[in-house]
Structure 1
Amino acid sequence: MNIGVSEINKIKVFPIPYAGASVNVYYEWKKLLPDRYELCMCELAGRGTRFREPCYKSVGEASEDIAKRISEQLKYDDEYVIFGHSMGALLTYEIYYKLKQMGTKEPTHLFFSGRNAPHISEKRDNIENMTNETFLQTVEQYGGLSEEFYTKEIMDIFLPILRADFIILDNYKFQPKAEKISCGISVFYADNDFSTPIKKIPKWTEVVEGNAKFHKFKGEHFFLNRYPNDIVNFIVKDTQPFRGD
């Protein structure tokens, strides 16, 4: 007997945004993912539908909050994956362990994009004490800021969120885990991203016991905005071995 797509539990995809962004940056994926997959949005505090909430004070606080919100959207037998770009990649790593502590079923796969492995430290000047002008110069190295961002109205809203995210990243201290990641992972990176030197990308294998796949793109830090179809296709392709249909 053939089983229709509607009768099969979907694979839930939880995307985690980069610094300063709302989860809505992934909204386009709803149209790109095949029927077997369901895009599930978990908004971060301080933006989008949670704009009135204070921004996170630490990566630990952020990852615990998001892990709870992911867990609330899961049934006991759900398959799911988590994708994170830049800050979202670091949060995805920590969310994995928060979910394990909560006793939540392990994800099928993790996708880390646009960031070094969590035990590779990033050296930056003290963001907290920077002037807005100096902070913007730091942020501009990553690209991705539209001309509209520089209007006073937009900067008044989003600059504090962006700065808060950079501060928790700078204050992050890697703590080795008792167990490595046991599910499969995929790592996406660009050939011209100053923040993720290609020679350091293989370091991701040091935090995982499961299978690790690597996908290189042309471009700079925000390559994911340039290749949404390719990103989604790799998410589907890399989870296929685990599918039950």
Structure 2
Amino acid sequence: MKVFPIPYAGASVNVFYEWKKLLPDRYELFMSELAGRGTRFREPCYQSVGEASEDIAKRISEQLEYDDEYVIFGHSMGALLTYEIYYKLKQMGTKEPRHLFFSGRNAPHVFEEREDIESMTNEVFLQKVEQYGGMPEEFYIKEIMDMFLPILRADFIILDNYKFQPKAEKISCGVSVFYADNDFSTHIKEMHKWSEVVEGNVKFHEFKGEHFFLNQYPNDIVNTIVKDTETQNIYCNMVDDM
């Protein structure tokens, strides 16, 4: 089972590197880096969610063999990208994932008022970002901030400009939703609206903590991914045998 994690705003896919040690041997972590960071730091950042999801979908598709089973996990910005990536993969004719994991973000069709991130000063923008927590102290060192702040701002801009477009079909693979009980950016009612864009049942998992709860409980997150994927696997095999 191939696992493709999609990071949150400003982050490289390397934030999931620890999962390599936590996943069982029958699972393999595949790092599809986003433009503008990590091994792709020389590339320009994305101009839209559509551009980002199409690019990542192509990279995922290139790492799949014909009969590969795989799952995609996205946190925060990554959750929204995962939603759009699913449909980009379908357009490409790529075999659909076994399971999708949406974490730390309200359902894509929940209206969020635009904040005009592009017009914010760095000071105001940083105040907004700090609400999410999880900012390391070294981020505020000038050289590091000069490098990473433009990436973070670019990600927030494409999220701010995102406009939900209803899809012709609902998601037909397995879906799980992760959220924290004290995440200011999500609401349990809005998280449960993920079920409105999914054909079948959705598994919901609540964790203690704030927005970056996934960094607090990497072992629990990985174990839940494996459990939900294999539950879905059993169900799909039963259907295939009928």
Q: Tell me, yes or no, whether TM beats 0.5.
A: yes
The code of the aligned residue for 1:64 comes to E
* Residue deviations 1:112-151 (CA, integer Å, cap 9, x gap): 0000000012235211000000000000000110110001
Task: Give the gaps of 5 or more residues in structure 1.
Answer: 1-10
- Tell me, in whole angstroms, the C-alpha distance in 2 between the residues paired with 1:200 and 1:24: 29
Number of the residue aligned with 1:147: 137
Number of the residue aligned with 2:90: 100
Is 1:79 the counterpart of 2:61? The answer is no
Number of the residue aligned with 1:212: 202
TM-score normalised to structure 2 length: 0.95
The aligned length equals: 234
Q: CA deviation at 1:85?
A: 0.1
Q: CA deviation at 1:199?
A: 2.0
Asked if structure 1 preserves the Cα contact closer than 8 Å seen for 2:117 and 2:125, the reply is yes
- The secondary structure found in structure 2 opposite 1:188 is strand
- Tell me, in whole angstroms, the C-alpha distance in 2 between the residues paired with 1:49 and 1:122: 32
Number of the residue aligned with 1:36: 26
- Tell me, in whole angstroms, the C-alpha distance in 1 between the residues paired with 2:146 and 2:45: 15
* Residue deviations 1:79-103 (CA, integer Å, cap 9, x gap): 0000000000000000000000000
Asked if structure 2 preserves the Cα contact closer than 8 Å seen for 1:183 and 1:211, the reply is no
Asked if structure 2 preserves the Cα contact closer than 8 Å seen for 1:184 and 1:210, the reply is yes
Number of the residue aligned with 2:240: none
Asked if structure 2 preserves the Cα contact closer than 8 Å seen for 1:17 and 1:84, the reply is yes
TM-score normalised to structure 1 length: 0.94
Is 1:51 the counterpart of 2:30? The answer is no
Is 1:90 the counterpart of 2:80? The answer is yes
- Alignment RMSD: 0.9
Q: What pairs up with 1:158-177 in 2 under 5 angstroms? A: 158-177=148-167
Number of the residue aligned with 1:24: 14
The code of the aligned residue for 1:127 comes to I
Asked if structure 2 preserves the Cα contact closer than 8 Å seen for 1:19 and 1:166, the reply is yes
The code of the aligned residue for 2:86 comes to Y
- Tell me, in whole angstroms, the C-alpha distance in 2 between the residues paired with 1:122 and 1:146: 27
Asked if structure 1 preserves the Cα contact closer than 8 Å seen for 2:114 and 2:161, the reply is no
- The secondary structure found in structure 2 opposite 1:143 is coil
Percent identity, aligned pairs only?
Answer: 85
